[in-house]
Chains A and B, each alone.
Chain A
Amino acid sequence: MTNMSTGVRVSAGTKAYLYLSLTLIAAIVLVPLLTTAIGGFKSLGDLRVNPFGLPAEWHPENYTDILFGDRYWRQMMNSLVIAVLTVFLTVTVSAMAAFTFAHVRFFGSNFLLNYFLIGLMFPAATAILPLFIRIRDLGLLNTYWGVVLPQVAFGLGMSILLLRNYFKNLPEELFQAALVDGCGYIRFFWYITLPLSRPIIATVSIISFVGSWNSYILPLIMLNSESIYPWPLGIMVYRGEFGTQWQLVLAFITLTILPTIIVFFLAQKHIIAGLTAGAVKS
């Protein structure tokens, strides 16, 4: 905690202490992940006597069997379809609403905005049973929409707030100029607001994509046939089926979290900013 802002050089002793502590914590984070990935290459007996080290004999077939089967790909596709629909719908619907709150003056505007902000106060779990009954009565059980629509609805409060704040801070002169030129609201929204708001649209998209990709409770309640399970549900079924054949379960876990890890390292700046700053700044 010394020298945190001043550019003073860190002494060798402090440096050793820093690296030692940081490496220790990093090891606690990484060891479970690495043993999972490596464990997927082992045989069950090998795993039992030697969970930490490298495999005595590499068994890539644990992985390739999963990769050549259709189960893994089907689950990934399901997750992708649900996430893409969720992101698309969340961004479209909330950008339109946020635009009216930012640029159109109308009676009850503040009241309506606060109405949407109620959605920030409680998680979907509180209303999960009535939601189930509603989705069932609409005939949407066991469909993608049964998961997508509630996810979008519960994401609206946050997205509308983020987008509206951003829209409001766009330079006012743009709007004046456009109006003088005879540009209507809708054209203004499409040609000026949206292109200028790419950063915040990216933030909202990341938040809703990650939320949907990892979501478990809504699909668990709304879906009941394995053919449309997204991966968090599918992996639980897989684990139930293969029980204590941990080497297969570990390979499956590794393959399912691999996309997340790759994307995270490629786009880390945006993802960290989206998930933390997005939550705080709003």
Chain B
Amino acid sequence: MTDISATSTIRSTAPSKAAIRRKGSTGRGRLPVLLLFLPPALLLFTLFVILPMGEAAWYSLYKWSGYGAPTDFVGLRNFQVLFNNTAFLTSLKNNALIVVVSIIVQIPLAIWLSTMLANKIAGVVLFRLIFFLPYVLAEVAAGLIWRFVYDGDYGLFASLAHLFGVETPYVLADKDLAIYAVLAVIVWKYFGFHMMLFIAGLQSLDKSVLEAAEIDGATGWQKFRYVTLPLLASTLRLSVFFAIVGSLQLFDLIMPLTGGGPFNSTQTMVTFLYNFGVTRMQVGLGSAVGVVLFVICVTLAFGYKRIFMRND
């Protein structure tokens, strides 16, 4: 979740005290410290991040089971197969759907809660804790808990249906409903994180502007719509960014809930990669998914920085 966030800040770390520093950093023993301190990080990073990514690009051009050397060169056929695979197309659609739901349900919910919690009333801290709790829980545990909630025989849904005298729904087994059930869990799991972002954003607002609006006779809603919300714009962008990033790597939560089923209706890109690339050891196809994911992530990181962070 936190992975991509920091790209936006590469720029902001420009050395402000460079001039002073120049003098101080010519101390003795520069070479030993470089030779001792840099190689461990460089080695680990190159070996387990950069090389695997490069290899993914290379393997994606082969049909390969992972044993021996890759020799069966197929060019771009893996990508062709991928974009003709209905399960993969569903996974792309689901990833987009998760972002959309996050923007129209989760973020408004988070803003609403954060403005409520900004009031000075008793118990605010406790509510904040409760709302953040699902975010701290492991995805796997959250997924299993909701699998129970949705269970048609034992779960809470079953007894709710019973209460209303409706036929018991097997939500996670229904290929039309399952994705919505998954989306609800996603909102449940992550809204607290977004709420915390907005609470932090609200705390850093310049209060005098709000007071000025109040003196000018603005109503609560007007103050929110024309003062608070515009001032929260950068938090809002950050929140959308995290929603997209989270959607792109969503895996742990889906596996205990549906595993991508029924009939591949709840696959995301990463569950597709796992179900079709890893479990069947189709290294070429799986790597092709990795490459697509990589291209989306990098485009996003740069595009986002370009378009949205310009004014910050």
Residues in A lying within 8 Å of B, measured CB to CB: 1-7, 10, 14-15, 18-19, 21-22, 25-26, 28-33, 35-36, 39, 44, 47-52, 92-94, 96-97, 99-100, 103-106, 112, 114-123, 125-134, 149-150, 152-154, 156-158, 160-162, 164-165, 168, 172, 175-176, 179, 184-186, 189, 207, 210, 213-217, 220-221, 232, 235-236, 239, 244, 246, 249-250, 253, 256-257, 260-261, 264-265, 268, 271-272, 275-280, 282
Contacts and interface: CB of A to CB of B under 8 A. Distances in A.
B20 A158 contact: no
Contact of B223 (A1, A21, A164): A1
Interface in B168-199: 188, 192-193, 196-197
B283 A133 contact: yes
A26 B158 CA distance: 22
Contacts of A97: 37-38, 40-42
B211 A5 contact: yes
A256 B193 CA distance: 22
A186 B196 CA distance: 38
Contacts of B98: none
Interface string B109-129: 100110111111101000101
Interface in B11-68: 13, 15, 17, 20-30, 32-34, 36-38, 40-42, 44-45, 47-53, 55-56, 59, 66
Contacts of B73: none
10 closest residue pairs by CB, A with B: A153-B48, A214-B138, A127-B52, A97-B41, A130-B55, A2-B220, A130-B52, A96-B37, A4-B118, A1-B115
A271 B135 CA distance: 11
A221 B283 CA distance: 13
5 contacts: A105-B30, A129-B278, A185-B27, A221-B278, A261-B137
A134 B48 contact: yes
B280 to A, nearest CB: 11
A47 B139 CA distance: 24
Contact of A119 (B49, B56, B158, B278): B49
A244 B25 contact: no
A2 B123 CA distance: 17
A260 B158 CA distance: 29
Contacts, number: 362
A128 B47 CA distance: 13
Nearest to B2: A279
B141 A122 contact: no
B6 A161 contact: yes
Contacts of B146: 32
A244 B153 contact: yes
B44 A156 contact: yes
B188 A28 contact: yes
B48 to A, nearest CB: 4
B45 A153 contact: yes
A232 B287 contact: no
Contacts of B207: 5-6
A2 to B, nearest CB: 4
Q: Among A99, A132, A272, which residue has the most Cβ atoms of chain B within 10 A?
A: A272
Contacts of A156: 41, 44-45, 49
B134 to A, nearest CB: 6
Contacts of B138: 213-214, 216, 232, 257, 260
A190 to B, nearest CB: 11
Contacts of A232: 138, 140-141, 252
Q: Which of B26, B41, B188, B301 has the most CB of A within 10 A?
A: B41
Q: Which of B13, B224, B228 counts the most chain A CB atoms within 10 A?
A: B13
